[in-house]
Structure formats: C-alpha cells, structure tokens
Structure 1
Amino acid sequence: MIDLTLIGIGTGNPQHLTLQAVEALNAQDLILIPNKGTGKDDLAGLRQAICAEAIRGHGQTGEAPRIVEFDLPVRDEATQDYRQRVDDWHDAIAEIWWQTITTHLPEGGAVGFLVWGDPSLYDSTMRIADRLKTRTEIALRVIPGITSIQALTAAHAIPINTINGPFTITTGRQLRDAGWPEGTETLVVMLDGACSFQSLEADGVEIWWTAYAGMENEISISGPLDEVTDQIIETRAKARADHGWIMDIYLLRR
C-alpha cells in the first residue's frame, strides 16, 4: 500500500508553501525529487531548499523523510504524434517512480512528490500517478499550491479579468495553431517556448510577461505588444542562457 501525496509548492519561493503543504511534507516517509539534468539541476536544488526549510521532523520518531532524487527521462521528439510522445514519456516516468519507490520503500508507506505550482493546472503528475495504480494499491492525496498565474498577476499588480469579462487559459502550441480564441478578451498563455505571441496581430493587444514568477530572480515586462515584443524575446533568451532553463508565463488582453 502506497500513500502518495502530490504537494503543490508554488513557483519556487518557500514562502509560497501553505501550512497544509508544510504539514504534508513532514508526514512523508519518502520524498521524490526529479532531476532534469545538467543546466536544470537548480530546479532540483530549489525543491531541496524547500524541503530543508519546511521539514522539521517526522511523527513521534522525529526522523525526517528520506529525500531521493531521480533522473527524469528525456521526451522523445522523433515521434511525429505529439500525444503519443507525451504518453510514452509519462510511461517512462511512471516506471522510474515505481523503481525508486520499491527500492527505497519496499514495504510501502507515505510517498510525497513536490509539484511546481499546482497539480491541477497543465501538470501531468496526477496522470503519471494513475499509472502506478496498475501495479499496487495507491491512495492518492493532492495538496493545492499557488499557481504561476497567481504569481504573474501579483507581479504586475493586475486582475486576471476585466469586470464581468471572460478569460481563457491556453498554451503556446494552441495559440500558434488556432490563434486567438473567439469570445474572450483576455488570454493567459503557459508552456510557450517559442514566444507564440509573435504569431498574433499585435495592434490593440497589451501583454504582461513574467519569467521565474515569484522567485528571487523574477523578471517582468509589460506594455503594448507591438512595442515590447523584441524586448521580451531578447530578455527571455538571455535569462535562459544565464540560468540554463526558464519558466515564463504571460497575459494578453485586447
């Protein structure tokens, strides 16, 4: 029996942890931390720092949870079908989870996984966890966390919507392939590694862009899209080169 807890940890700032998340971290026997490899290992380091700050013991024994890093497999980009690439990648991750859990917790117990942002929003951790249910009995618990959307709007001190106005949360891929969705004046765009706002007619569009939202190295740029596009692209490229990785998000409004 495995009690698996997916713990939303916000956007990398230990102060984003809720009291519920802190309690959940301290209740685990084993905490899994993915390592994405050279150049992105500070993402694992941020998770380690969060654990170091939040964990103060474990139950009546006072023993801290064991923290184990595992190498995250690389998604195969050779397969043409995007959905198939993602499914295969999730299968590979689930296999590594299973091997790591059974190695370090062979008799079962409480396993925690730190999820960037919130497990509900453009995150596949719950889908990966479902794959483990074919191997053993899994009790799944999800702890919500602060999202990058909340950190974005806080960084710019703006509401996500106009008065009584709808908004759409989408991805860079969808924006490039389908354009601006009908019936909405505000878009929040996530998972965009190609600055897909370049594909839009910029006239009359405002953008609020933030990288590393909520972290110490947060960067924010806003203004008319036709005026700040080049600045965002250049700033993003430099930040990615400096850190080896980047997480960014933006809001568009007509």
Structure 2
Amino acid sequence: MSRSDHRSAVEYSDVSVRLGGTQIVHDLTMSVETGRFFGFIGPNGSGKSTVLRCLYRALTPTSGDVAINGRRVGASSLRENARQVAALTQSSTMFLDFTVAEVIRTGRLPHVRMLQSMSADDEEICARAAEDAGATDLRDRLFSELSGGEAQRVLVARAFAQQTPILVLDEPTNHLDVKHQYAVMRAARDRGVTVIAALHDLNVAAQFCTDLAIVFDGRIVLRGTPAEVLTVAAIQKWFGIGCHVVPHPRTAVPQVIFDEGLNP
C-alpha cells in the first residue's frame, strides 16, 4: 500500500470480504482523495455497504488492507478509528431508550475521557450538528417515538457531532422526504471533510458527489465523475433498466429519467 500519496484520505488495497461462505467483495483496490465526496452506487446486494463497513471497522476484510492517511485501519484502536471516521449506518436499534439529545451526544464519546462530562464546547457542537441535520426541534423527544425520517436526521446529527475528517454515510437519504434529502446531503458536503457514501438515488448522487463508482457483484466496474459514470449505456448495463440522461438546467450535472419496465 502506498504511503507516499498524501492526498489520499482512504485507500483500499486488494480488499476481499467473504461472509457465510459467500464472496461479497472481490480484490477491491481504490483510493479517495482528501476532501472529495465519493459515492458508491449499484444494485441491491452489490457490496456497497460491506465496503463501507471495512472502513469504520464493523467488518475486518478477509484479505487486503484499508488505510486512513497511510495508516492501516486494523492498526488503530476502535477509539482511534472513531476519531477519524464517523459513520451513519443502517442500524439504529441501540438507541431506542435514549432521548434525541442523548443520541446526538454519543457522537462526542470518542473525544471525551472516561467518566468525563460533556463540556460547553461539546454541547455547542451537538447543537450545531442538530441544526445542520434539521433535528433541533426533536432534541427532547425519545428516539423510539420518532418516525423513520426523523430518526434518520438524528443519526445524521450524531455523525456530524463526531467531527471527524472522514464521514461515512450508508444510505443517508433513507426515509427522508425530498426537502430533507437535499438538506442533509448539502450539510454533509458543506462540512468540508472527506465524505464516502452508499447511495441509491442516482440523481441525488449526481447533484452532490464529486466522484462515483458503480459496484456490481463486489467489484468496481466503472468509476469517474457523475458525467462519466451516469450514462445511458452504463445504467442499462449495470442497473438493468432503460433511461434517458439529461443535464440539470441549472447545474448541468446529469439527471436520470427512467423508462417503464426493464432494460430490453
């Protein structure tokens, strides 16, 4: 693994993951430069979330290495990793008995010493994170009482409160209405950190990502800018559906209009 490319925030080197006798990720090698908004797209079950889980140490690759700023993820403690990578995952059941404010405060735990109370600065960071994620009005409610979209905004706020140089977002727009989808993605982009996300909405991905990669059967089959990746041919081939691709009238980024039915 190269340690000389200081522009790379994240590097995957020959990463493979095998779960339950099934190969999920195959010899994946790639890097993400510091400050980029990198999006993984691809059909369900293609391995996007598995690739992300190797970065925030929810999974250990069967083979290969993942590095942050040249240091192997496996060489860091979980606490050290949590100071480098904040992750919005697809599981939230561990917070059911917490208030929203308490959930957001857990984002500060990697930065707080054992038994130490939250400082005024920590509380201000949590308040700003809640505001950025559109969750300020939810702070006094129980997490278990929230709708799916409300809970998602709280978990985004928690990730923001962690204040890490790398932000991992696994399906960040799940359960969100259109307004909050764009607000959350805009807030993530505007934090000025390296963002790596798994996304299903191709048009949202095109609007916010600087780089995209299509993952299919645990392999990256196409990578580039949104304009290079979101082509009619690529979408028909890897997603199995016909479409038209047109430029957004204001930003000129590609926007996908899907046809009815599967790709002929």
What TM-score results when the alignment is normalised by the length of structure 2?
Answer: 0.27
* Larger CA Rg, structure 1 vs 2: 1
| Structure number with higher strand proportion | 2
